[in-house]
Chains A and B, each alone.
Chain A
Amino acid sequence: MQRYIIKRIFQSLIVILGITVIVFIIVHLTGDPLDLLLPPEAGLEEREIFRHELGLDKPLYVQYFEFLKNISQGDFGQSFRHQTSAFSLVIGALPATIELTAAAMILSIIIALPIGILSAIRPRSFLDRLGMTFALIGQSIPVYWAGLMLILLFAVTLGWLPSGGRGGISNIILPAITLGLFSTAAIARFTRSSMLDVLDEDYIRTARIKGLSEHIVILKHALKNAAIPILTITSLQFGRMLSGAVITETIFSWPGVGRIAVQAIYNRDFPVVQTAVLVTSVIFVIINLLVDIMYMYLDPRIKYD
């Protein structure tokens, strides 16, 4: 078991290393950074001096290792646009993104689990059809449009909730619904199918024959066994949400990492872009690692080597 954990940590480190390579390549695809740093009237000689000072005349792999050395020391470079380090800019926006993602995740799970379980208990009933229609539509609505329609209804027409910004509870409701919509639908559909699989098993029949009450059978025997696949899909949704947050934050002017990153892309502020991508990816890798380790405690049947 310990060997498995060490192997997974090692794999995660390789993935993070791979991410740094891709981020490095993307930033170098973007053309000469000198075009952005120097005024257009800068002479050729001036450019060469500057290039040498920044180390941009060295071979690419040397530049990559320097990049790696810097970020391992927490130096992600200065923002071209703001007079701060890219790292502090991204880290400063992180709490807002975590708050939004957590709210969306909690909302999704609270709504999706009951829908999935109830649909599975009475397959093909009215409730099942209603729940699954909702889920199918939820998976087909683009995040950005759902956000606009929620603003149109609850902020513009009814005036019940603010259309953007971060502050009290009322500010987070619309963005959390928007961000959680797709995941709610996905988790509900998946919960239904996992529960259907489990409810077909012999031990459920045994539990029923023993005369256990139906809700004990469902909640204790069935849900516990369906939990692992549900947990897998939920953790996968987490990655989706970190991506979805980019759009949700932009629509609702939510001051998170996604919005900062999009603005940095518009402004060609590459240190901020690469920091935002790196930080989000590393968080996702760590979450995946934790979920995998959690499985071992949840399901002792799985053999690890």
Chain B
Amino acid sequence: MPKSNKIWVHLRNAPLGGLAIFFLFLIAAFFAEYLAPHSPTDQNITNALRAPCFFEGGTFEHLLGTDELGRDILSRMIFGARISLLVGFVAVVLSGFIGTCLGLVSGYFGGRIDSIIMRFVDIQLSMPYILIALALIGALGPSLRNIIIVIGITSWVDYSRVVRGEVLSIKNKEFVDLARIAGCSTFRIILKHILPGVANSLIVLGTLMLGRIIIFEAALSFLGLGVQPPTPSWGIMLADGRQYLTFAWWLATFPGIAIMMVVLGTNLVGDWLRDTLDPKQRAAVRGKR
């Protein structure tokens, strides 16, 4: 089959819903100022806890209603996308960098350094990561920078395990041996000959991790040790909503839907990328169908 046909097959299988959610999320994050009908932080107590339009007491002025301080829920959600994307993206890059470096070293050199790194992985996997993150943020103070750092250093494990596995299967291939014979330095072999081989897996994992990290950030904010008010974050909105759950259901409902949709989008896109980019998986899937 010619190559262009293959690409067409994959595009035809693309999860349109997932990609649409993803683009909507990106657009909301980048153009929040232009899209949001109100300021995310402007308070108006006389207008507090107004129901969404189509419900009793709701107006089209505030499509999704207002919170306990009269702030527009929709606008806060649109600005909240920015925080989720910022934390998610930077933490994915940070944890991906740490995990990939450790995975490359572990898989390529093997031996003692491999078992040391793998014990680190075991230790990290054995600890309740939410408690560790909460304790660290409690210690360092809850700023945006600290949250990203803490999420980054608690989420690298998956990358190192995946990368290590891939390196083990690549490093004894002929082209790596040839590069070695040609006199390439170890650093160059890892960077130029092995890293490209694990890139596909990294893209897949990074996409799936983005969703998990967005949930993680919102969890920390929900528990009060994440992004701090009045910054609009989906996790903070949920925490506010929890207090008004009995008489203002919309406060907690809409930000949660936003998180769920974005994570669903990353999961759908991630699964599709895995089927598309990972030849082993692709063969397995084709065999099944």
Contacts and interface: CB of A to CB of B under 8 A. Distances in A.
A148 B122 contact: no
A19 B242 CA distance: 34
Contact of B122 (A11, A139, A140, A142): A11
A111 to B, nearest CB: 19
| Residues of B in contact with A, size category | 35 or more
B49 interface: no
A157 to B, nearest CB: 8
Interface in A114-147: 123-124, 136-137, 139-145
B128 interface: yes
Interface in A252-281: 258, 261-262, 265-266, 268, 273, 276-277, 280-281
B135 A246 contact: no
Contacts of B252: 145, 148-149, 152
Contact of A148 (B128, B225, B241): B241
A262 B223 contact: yes
A243 B128 contact: yes
Interface of B: 119-120, 122-123, 125-132, 134-136, 138-140, 211, 215, 218-219, 222-225, 238, 241-242, 245-246, 249, 252-253, 256, 259-260, 263-264, 267-268, 284, 287-289
A246 B128 contact: yes
Contacts of A281: 126-128
B264 A137 contact: yes
Given A141-B260, A143-B219, A136 B267 contact: yes
A278 to B, nearest CB: 9
A110 interface: no
A136 B253 CA distance: 20
Contacts of B136: 26, 29
A26 B137 CA distance: 10
A140 B125 contact: no
Contact of B131 (A11, A239, A276): A276
Nearest to A189: B271
Contact of B119 (A18, A124, A246, A276): A18
A194 B119 CA distance: 28
A268 to B, nearest CB: 7
Secondary structure call for the B interface: helix
Contacts of A26: 132, 135-136, 139
Secondary structure call for the A interface: helix
A14 B125 contact: no
Contacts of A141: 260, 263
Contacts of B131: 243, 246, 258, 261-262, 265, 273, 276-277, 280
A136 B208 CA distance: 12
Contacts of B130: 243-244, 246-247
Q: Which 7 A-B pairs give the minimum distances between C-beta atoms?
A: A145-B256, A30-B139, A140-B264, A18-B123, A140-B263, A243-B128, A29-B139
Contact of B128 (A137, A152, A277, A288): A277
Interface string A237-253: 00100111011001100
Nearest to B215: A142
B137 to A, nearest CB: 9
Contacts of B242: 148, 251
A140 B267 contact: yes
A285 interface: yes
A156 interface: yes
A18 B125 CA distance: 12
A74 interface: no
Contacts of B139: 26, 29-31
A196 to B, nearest CB: 6
Contacts of B264: 136-137, 140
Given A29-B139, A258-B131, 7 more contacts: A14-B119, A29-B136, A142-B215, A149-B253, A243-B131, A244-B130, A281-B128
